[in-house]
């Protein structure tokens, strides 16, 4: 297990820093009309193999924020979201949102329409994913007969999320909440998968985080349907039986594992700084996903 080392979170006047994750910094707003609410800032940090790299990807935080905001609008009739305002301090404008405080459910709500990643590993071992039996003969990249809800535990920083059964979710949050989370997850995935497909992109899988307002309303929170939380594949290049090209940080992973990087993953040492060419290709991939999905020019 790698130790996650994060840079110090920048000070933002009128706020108190609460927490930093691999990409996002969370603050409590102390002054003004939004006092008591949260300021969520998306950085340009990038992580691979449980290391946060010293090299950043320019504009990544803003791309992720804009994409999440666009998706929140596309699914607003299905589930409310945590965004209160985008009127944020100048220092983080474009890459931050003001959001409600929620009681977050300790479950990663994952929807899969295609078999890959940890789901493929589970299937190869058991013929199931999170206790859901699947047909035989599926391969990496196979489209599933229908999307499935495959929850995971929310791991601490530096740990891996672990796939769990639906029964485990029921035991954690109760049967009624588990049913609601599953229904919302599949509804949002279904809407997003259809919209992405219209734009020539396959949404293979994605993960959501939900929380509850004081009145019990379940709310979609954190980021949503970005390349950091989802697998997006070019539809024209989809070939089951092999790893699919994707709109995410796979470029960085591939470089780190290549002889060109000189990095030994087994050493426990962090990967070296990224070459400028890898940074630019990664930024371009994130931008391509943003522009294709939203129809907006950067």
pLDDT tens, residue by residue, 188-211: 999 999 999 999 999 999 999 999
For residue 158, is pLDDT > 70?
Answer: no
**Above 50 in pLDDT, residue 284?**
yes
Chain mean position to CA 253: 16
The C-alpha atoms of residue 252 and residue 234 are separated, in whole angstroms, by 18
Tell me: pLDDT of 79 over 90. yes
Q: Does domain 15-99 have CATH number 3.30.200.20?
A: yes
Q: What is the pLDDT of residue 39?
A: 98
Q: Spell out the alpha helix ranges (H) of the chain.
A: 60-74, 117-126, 166-173, 175-198, 250-257, 276-294
Map out the domains of the chain as residue ranges. Answer: 15-99, 103-237
> Which whole number is the average pLDDT over 112-132?
95
More confident residue, 267 or 6: 267
- Return the number of other C-beta atoms located less than 10 Å from residue 42's C-beta: 25
Output the pLDDT for position 279: 97
Q: Is 77 helix (H, G, I), strand (E, B) or coil?
A: coil
Write the DSSP symbol of residue 81. Answer: B
In whole angstroms, how large is the CA radius of gyration of the chain?
Answer: 19
As a whole number, the mean pLDDT across the chain is: 94
Assess whether pLDDT exceeds 70 at residue 159.
Answer: no
Q: What is the mean pLDDT of residues 133-158?
A: 90
In 3-state terms, what secondary structure has residue 184?
Answer: helix
pTM, full prediction: 0.92
Q: Is 142 exposed, middle or buried (0-12, 13-18, 19+ CB in 10 A)?
A: middle
Query: Biggest alpha carbon distance in the chain?
Result: 58
What is the mean predicted confidence (pLDDT) over 215-237? 96
Minimal CA–CA distance to 147: which of 134, 166, 160? 134
CATH number of 103-237: 3.30.470.20
Strand partners, 203: 232
According to the model, what pLDDT value does residue 164 have? Answer: 93
What DSSP character marks residue 62?
Answer: H
């Amino acid at each position: 297990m790698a130790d996650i080392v994060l840079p110090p979170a920048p000070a933002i006047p009128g706020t108190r820093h609460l927490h930093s994750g691999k990409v996002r910094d969370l603050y409590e707003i102390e002054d003004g009309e939004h006092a008591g609410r949260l300021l969520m800032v998306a950085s340009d940090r990038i992580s691979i193999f449980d290391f946060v790299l010293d090299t950043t990807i320019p504009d990544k935080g803003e791309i992720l924020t804009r994409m999440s905001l666009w998706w929140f609008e596309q699914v607003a009739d299905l589930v409310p979201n945590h965004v209160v305002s985008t009127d944020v301090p100048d220092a983080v404008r474009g890459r931050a949102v003001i959001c409600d405080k929620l009681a977050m459910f300790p479950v990663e709500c994952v929807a899969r329409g295609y078999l890959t990643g940890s789901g493929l590993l589970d299937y190869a071992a058991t013929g199931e994913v999170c206790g859901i039996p699947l047909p035989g003969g599926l391969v990496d990249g196979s489209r599933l007969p229908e999307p499935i809800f495959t929850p995971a535990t929310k791991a601490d920083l530096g740990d891996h999320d672990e796939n769990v059964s639906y029964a485990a979710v029921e035991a954690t949050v109760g049967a009624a909440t588990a049913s609601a989370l599953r229904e919302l997850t599949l509804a949002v995935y279904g809407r997003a998968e259809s919209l992405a497909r219209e734009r020539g992109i396959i949404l293979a899988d994605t993960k959501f985080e939900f929380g509850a307002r004081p009145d019990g309303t379940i709310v979609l929170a954190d980021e949503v349907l970005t390349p950091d939380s989802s697998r997006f594949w070019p539809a024209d290049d989809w070939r089951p039986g092999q790893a699919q090209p994707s709109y995410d940080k796979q470029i960085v992973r591939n470089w780190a594992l290549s002889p060109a990087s000189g990095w030994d993953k087994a050493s426990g040492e962090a990967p070296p700084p990224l070459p400028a060419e890898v940074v630019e290709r990664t930024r371009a991939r994130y931008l391509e996903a943003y522009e294709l999905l939203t129809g907006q020019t950067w």
